Amino acid sequence: MAEVQPKHVLLRVGGRVLQRYGVPAVYGAGRGRVEVPYVFTRADAATCATYVDRDGLIRKAAANVLRVEWVDLDGDGIRETPGLLMEGGRQNLMLRSEEIDNAAWSKTTVTFGANADVAPDGTTTADRLIEGALSQEHVVYQTLTATADVRHSVSVFAKAGTRSFVYLTIRDVNGLTNGVLAWFNLATGAVGTVSHNGAGSGEQAFIQKLANGWYRCTLIGACNNGDTTPLGTVGISSGNGTTVYTGDGSSYISVWGAQFENNTPFPSSYIPTVASAVARAADSLNVSANFGNDIELTVGARLGRPVHADVSGSLGINPSIYQIGDTNGNVRGVFTNASRLIEATVDGPGSDMFPNAAIVAGAQITYVAQYKNLRTVPAARIDLGAGLPSYGTGAGAMPNYTSQNIGVGANLFAPLIDEMFLRGQFTLAEYLAVP
């Protein structure tokens, strides 16, 4: 097996490093491990970009500051692995996201214990959602302005109290005539029944474990029937699949951090709101490069598994792991919009090529993409663990790069643990052997 030497490394970036090595370097001359000049932006008007820290708590990042999110890759409950969180822009339409007792929320057969519990961010701001003593649904909800006949995402942080089930719905203004529903077991951390009524469709649900018994519960789906004012609801339940039951007037769950994202088939990181909807700007990380035109290139990457890897149907975007070059010619690594593949794209001035491989199971995605002959007959291939196939060809020859900008993680929506841009051809095993 070949060994990756410092001379091969054009750029390494990830949860702990943003560095260049040796000569030729990604920016100027120099030897050894040095910091790389880079440009990062996320021009939020408010501090609304959040991430999960090593202790499993929700934290806020200031505008234009990189977010390092810690992930648990081996399922032992310890978040031992850092990754850069590089998301696209999103908006939370739920008002008073951390004040479920506020008048911005409509209520059916519930009362509240305001600021009764320690929230996922470590502050005592979580409310208790207490069921009433009538035989009805026990829910809070907001009426939202949204795009008709597309999937949306609703989520909430929830913790078991004297009840263990929370359920979420996206429904039309006529109640549950058309909509999608999902139950979550807060005692076991499992998704329960996921279903739809009437014209509702595209339902999927996800649950994410945090610290101190908290879970982030997410439902995606469409209520359809032309509805542009859906309800996003959060309810307490006596058991899986149950909406209407006679409450005892005292049983509760704890809730905090509600979010509704319009026309988005998968959720993003939590965006806190107060009196109005809040938009989080997109993360953008770029590094200027200067490594010549006629090179053989390998890109290796390790990522935390994004939610969109398990979402059915169209994503609406092609989440990008990297892009080298500009509109005159570039190579990219992207998650595909319509199917759960990763492509090693060559985008020349003429025809393009898209060698790809399917995303495999597991909490971590690892892969290498190899490129060669970019100035003549471009060839590329990709390995996500099944081995390197034959090279694909068919793209038009690349021109001289007018820009060798390296863009990292545009619209990625996943923690980028490690990414290496290497001069030469290296296998997945060789990339993963680099300490």
Residue 231 sits in a domain of what CATH number?
Answer: 2.60.120.260
- Examine the fold and report which residue of 246, 279, 312 is the final residue of a domain before the chain moves on: 279
Please say if the pLDDT value at position 413 is more than 70. yes
Average pLDDT over the chain, rounded to an integer: 90
Clarify whether residues 185 and 241 are in a common domain: yes
Q: Which of 235, 257, 279 is the last residue of a domain?
A: 279
| Residue 1 located in a structural domain | no
- How many structural domains are present in the chain? 2
Same domain flag for 63 and 95:
no
Structure tokens at 369: 């993409």
CA–CA separation, 253 vs 245, rounded Å? 16
pTM of the predicted model as reported, rounded to 2 decimal places: 0.92
Using CA atoms, how far apart are residues 367 and 426, in angstroms rounded to an integer?
A: 11
User: pLDDT for 10-22, tens place per residue?
Assistant: 888 887 655 443 3
Instruction: Decide if 422 contacts 291 (C-beta within 8 A).
Output: no
The SS3 assignment for 287 reads: strand
The pLDDT value given to residue 228 = 93
Classify residue 176: in a domain, yes or no. Answer: yes
User: Residue 291: what pLDDT?
Assistant: 67
Task: Calculate what percentage of the chain has a pLDDT beyond 90.
Answer: 70
CATH of the domain at 356: 2.60.120.560
Average pLDDT value for residue range 34-55: 82
- Taking residues 235-261, what's their average pLDDT? 98
Asked if 97 and 149 sit in the same domain, the reply is yes
Task: Work out the pLDDT band at 24, boundaries 50, 70, 90.
Answer: very low
My answer on whether 170 and 266 are in the same domain is: yes
What is the C-alpha to C-alpha distance for residues 123 and 100, in angstroms, rounded to an integer? 15
The mean pLDDT of 53-75, rounded to a whole number, is 91
Are 235 and 329 contained in the same domain?
A: no
The per-residue pLDDT for 403 is 66
The count of residues in the chain is 435
8 A C-beta contact, residue 358 and residue 277? no
pLDDT at residue 25 tops 50: no
Q: Is residue 290 part of a domain?
A: yes
Q: What is the pLDDT of residues 188-236, one digit of tens each?
A: 999 999 999 999 999 999 999 999 999 999 999 999 989 899 999 999 9
- State residue 287's pLDDT score: 85
> From residue 64, how far is each of 13, 49, 270 by CA, in Å?
17, 10, 17
> If you write DSSP's letter for every residue of 121-157 in order, what string do you get?
TSSS-EEEEEE-SSEE--EEEEE----TTS-EEEEEE
Question: Whole-angstrom Cα distance, residue 256 to residue 80?
Answer: 25
Query: For 325-366, what is each residue's pLDDT tens digit?
Result: 877 788 999 999 988 999 999 987 777 889 999 999 999 999
- End residue of a domain, out of 235, 256, 279: 279
| Residue 398 reports pLDDT greater than 50 | yes
Report the pLDDT averaged over residues 85-94: 95
pLDDT the model gives residue 98: 97
- Cβ proximity of 325 and 405 under 8 Å: yes
pLDDT attached to residue 35: 56
Q: Are residues 146 and 250 in the same domain?
A: yes
Please tell me whether residues 154 and 188 are part of one structural domain: yes
Assigned domain for 358 exists: yes
The boundaries of the domain holding residue 349 are 6-87+283-432
Q: Does any domain span residue 170?
A: yes
Share of the chain above pLDDT 70, in %: 93
My answer on whether 62 and 75 are in the same domain is yes
421 and 361 assigned to the same domain: yes
User: Is residue 328 located within the same domain as residue 354?
Assistant: yes
Mean pLDDT, residues 281-305 taken together: 86
Is 71 a domain residue? Answer: yes
Query: Residue 34 — pLDDT band, cuts 50, 70, 90?
Result: very low
Residue 311 has pLDDT above 60, yes or no: yes
Q: What CA–CA distance (Å, rounded) separates 35 from 404?
A: 18
Q: What is the mean pLDDT of residues 78-95?
A: 94
